[in-house]
Structure 1
């Protein structure tokens, strides 16, 4: 199974159409083995044209003379259903990240995709399909669909069962060729995570914690088919590269499913200058002042104009690169003409030679392509009743199967619950302390969901847990974020069996990946930023070795 879709390519494909072609590049060399060993395949690479992907896969199978049946799933394209419900006043379609109502959104949706469950995939396999291609099913749906079919689960069973801050420990385990994980799923929903023998990296309680904390939004993990309850979850190391998932509970599926609406958001461009050596911030101020003066005749059409210094120059650096930082000038506007080269690129490049004298050593980046307008897309995340979707399986022989909504569902609160921090403990409870980065002791992982950012922290030892849960309050996270905290809501919940604390930073990512002005458009570096912040660390924890 494979997960090919993200909010980045969902928005780009919404306007440009088509499927994800890298799926075919991966599938083509594997087809003879899939046919020989009767391997089942499910992937959500259909993007905005799953029917076309089905045709391409069918033709590829036929050209190789293989006996493989290919099915596809429809029902994720829901813009007409959203528009109908909006016209009839049935739903306000509140943005689950920002609280905005769809009627208040200043953009015109051009596409909407719902996150489907896995039962269409299961029905396709049960009908004899070997390969099932989908559009926007949820990340977990290919797994749920395959396990549901294989084990003969029923809808009322409700079973559920790389990017690692300890990466330095993987160097001697082959970090240049890290293996893909394998999930072994039992009929009772128990799960063991492992990987191919001989591949690099490791499967451990720590790497599994990293993956899980990155994906969640709170104690409830919603899928169209089931809700997983995570507050008592933990991992058990069974052996080398074998980890069991424990403590997951199940609840009814929600009555709704997530929908992402795409709209044309205008255009953006950027130019980069390099600042080197001394007086970095003064050089940046000088350049910004000059550029703002040059842009004065055009900037009233800009919706965003930002000047940022990215990185820091090492003191008494041993090489010039270490003493150099990036000065970025970023712009967005409704129309390409508003930031055409003569209205943005030329004005912010001209200070090097024309009319004004630039800072000492002034050097712009010579990749000028970024300075020309490129389209951006706004992304709006809301909920749609599952009963409003037309979830359907299309078989290879022209037949189709309807997948009805769940016969039982549950209405959950609009926002996930937030927990206060544990009662404060004094530093004396843990002995002497050393001031240093949080990441010397604490792992973390973060990611994006629309404009929200989630970040989870965890420690390795039980005696570190009392310190972590007391330290990491909402107010402490706000303090550690420093200038990055913009006053938005922060939710907190604990996973005590994992020694973990999770935070949801509402509307933290500047409208999401498709139109963000941030370097960290995926939110994945938020965790690394927070791990770099200095706190008082119990010295006895450091004596165990720094992460």
Structure 2
């Protein structure tokens, strides 16, 4: 993925895998790449594809016949393909490259002026849009492979489609093979975030050895839609029921209605079982017809943000940091007023750390870049003018505020292209929510023993826009009922007060003894902005793992 280790591709090539997928495109990345294209029409794709991950290994890829499928085209796949083909020609290699496009909606922005965000109802931006793309599926990738492409470069596709396209080509699955398509989608979902499934970010991190050489994931896939997740021989990391279960629920909403362009997946009956050291078998995914729509996202720059990290040390460090922050915000207000500029849209501080060493994270937002640049400079004056023990701020930055809107587009209005020629999407749809059969909710006996969530379960959180999910996987099947009883919306709001008012939907995933908690947070700030050192998606699962609850005696089911 974007900024992933340079060690991953060499590991996989040495292992002799048939194909390698590379997923670069988080929502935030699309906005950054869109800015790049606006500045230079020949750019708009991640440079790591050519400079780090694939470019240096083209000779080995050609010799071994390894297939490469990557959404490295970003917002300009044709430009990347031109650059890649030129490099291949310079090396005298014979590698066929295919370009999948048709996802870019920038030329159709006027058609979405009345569109609202599918989750929040926020209006479509009227200016400043940096990217707008529909999420394509796997069948155009399969078509490119069927025509002999060894490297397939796409723009925005669903992450798991990179894997699913390979499997459709390999096994000949049709657009109506919903169970197989769901299984292939799950295989792609499990490996798309690299080492997160081979021990990275795992709850039981102490059990994971060899972080320095952690293995990139390998999916051994079968025609029935099942797979085995493993890693290269001799690599570090861990592949276990826990690591795979955590990743299965990462960034998932309703696990019985996981929508991708080619199928509606149901992961509630998935079975995850150890199949030997660092080998986990995954089976039981089911599927329904896809919907008649595709998800789309647009990013836009909505004002400016300055961030500074000020170290404050000594006695009463937190109190000094708080007083100093408010003084800096007020100084900024006075300077803005003197220039007939509006007040800050946002001015907040959080102390990071405790005791006699605190870092004050200062955040201000304004419509004008000048205002944020002024604050970034002025906050340095605190060294000699304000609290004793203040040191030089680090990580000072001024950047555009990136915002995101998610919406749906009719599939019939989107035409994928393969090397510039139309590549029609399958005309298959028909999903109906009535197709979902919800599992029974387990009930628990009264609790008798206080334990932390981490004692009882693995947990991993993810984030999409203003939605946070936490997958909670019981360490023992009989503990799922106790977890279901304890993890109420009320309890979560008590444990996570800084998220403000949020709604909580809890989904049962009985196949792997799990729950999926979906929190709708209605954040007040722009995309990927948090006051802490990490995003809510990273913190939430870890935070609730420390919370105490009563372990129930058993379950009625």
With the shorter chain as reference, the TM-score category is 0.7 to 0.9
State the Cα distance separating 1:327 from its structure 2 match: 1.0
RMSD: 2.7
1:5 aligns with 2:25: yes
Higher mean C-alpha displacement, 281-290 vs 463-472:
281-290
**Match of 1:239, SS?**
coil
Residue 269 of structure 1 contacts residue 339 of structure 1 at CA under 8 Å; is this kept in 2?
A: yes
Please list the CA deviations of residues 263-291 of structure 1 after superposition, one character each: whole Å capped at 9, or x if unmatched. Answer: 12121112222233543442233223322
Higher mean C-alpha displacement, 521-530 vs 234-243:
521-530
Matches within 5 A, 1:262-341: 262-297=299-334, 298=336, 300-313=342-355, 323-341=356-374
2:239 is aligned, of 203, 213, 230, to 203
Structure-1 separation of matches of 2:454 and 2:314:
28
1:153 aligns with 2:179: no
Residue 43 of structure 1 contacts residue 133 of structure 1 at CA under 8 Å; is this kept in 2?
A: yes
Structure-2 separation of matches of 1:426 and 1:360:
54
**Match of 2:459, SS?**
strand
State the Cα distance separating 1:304 from its structure 2 match: 1.1
Structure-2 separation of matches of 1:238 and 1:82:
50
Higher mean C-alpha displacement, 211-220 vs 125-134:
211-220
1:166 aligns with 2:204: yes
2:160 is aligned, of 119, 140, 151, to 140
Q: Which structure has more RCO (C-alpha within 8 Å, separation ≥ 6)?
A: 1
Listed as ranges, the gaps of 5+ residues in structure 2 are 1-20, 38-43, 184-199
Structure-2 separation of matches of 1:257 and 1:285:
46
Partner residue in 2 for 1:463: 478
1:259 aligns with 2:301: no
Structure-2 separation of matches of 1:517 and 1:66:
49
State the Cα distance separating 1:516 from its structure 2 match: 5.0
Partner residue in 1 for 2:195: none
2:381 is aligned, of 347, 350, 361, to 350
State the Cα distance separating 1:402 from its structure 2 match: 2.4
Partner residue in 2 for 1:317: none
State the Cα distance separating 1:253 from its structure 2 match: 1.1
Residue 292 of structure 2 contacts residue 410 of structure 2 at CA under 8 Å; is this kept in 1?
A: yes
**Match of 2:22, SS?**
coil
Quickly say closer, same or farther: Cα 1:215–1:271, change in 2 above 3 A.
Answer: closer
Higher mean C-alpha displacement, 185-194 vs 75-84:
75-84
Partner residue in 2 for 1:221: 258
State the Cα distance separating 1:522 from its structure 2 match: 6.3
1:100 aligns with 2:122: yes
Partner residue in 2 for 1:236: 273
Quickly say closer, same or farther: Cα 1:285–1:418, change in 2 above 3 A.
Answer: farther
Listed as ranges, the gaps of 5+ residues in structure 1 are 314-322, 395-399, 541-547
Quickly say closer, same or farther: Cα 1:421–1:304, change in 2 above 3 A.
Answer: farther
Quickly say closer, same or farther: Cα 1:473–1:221, change in 2 above 3 A.
Answer: same
State the Cα distance separating 1:510 from its structure 2 match: 5.1
Residue 305 of structure 2 contacts residue 363 of structure 2 at CA under 8 Å; is this kept in 1?
A: yes
Quickly say closer, same or farther: Cα 1:44–1:447, change in 2 above 3 A.
Answer: same
Quickly say closer, same or farther: Cα 1:418–1:157, change in 2 above 3 A.
Answer: closer
Structure-2 separation of matches of 1:386 and 1:22:
31
Quickly say closer, same or farther: Cα 1:326–1:226, change in 2 above 3 A.
Answer: same
Quickly say closer, same or farther: Cα 1:423–1:312, change in 2 above 3 A.
Answer: farther
2:389 is aligned, of 349, 353, 361, to 361
Task: Calculate the TM-score normalised by the size of structure 1.
Answer: 0.85
Residue 195 of structure 1 contacts residue 203 of structure 1 at CA under 8 Å; is this kept in 2?
A: yes
State the Cα distance separating 1:254 from its structure 2 match: 1.6
Partner residue in 1 for 2:283: 246
Structure-2 separation of matches of 1:442 and 1:265:
40
1:64 is aligned, of 91, 94, 99, to 91
Quickly say closer, same or farther: Cα 1:117–1:302, change in 2 above 3 A.
Answer: same
Partner residue in 2 for 1:544: none
Structure-2 separation of matches of 1:311 and 1:538:
36
State the Cα distance separating 1:451 from its structure 2 match: 2.5
Please list the CA deviations of residues 228-279 of structure 1 after superposition, one character each: whole Å capped at 9, or x if unmatched. Answer: 1112222011111211112211111121111110112121112222233543
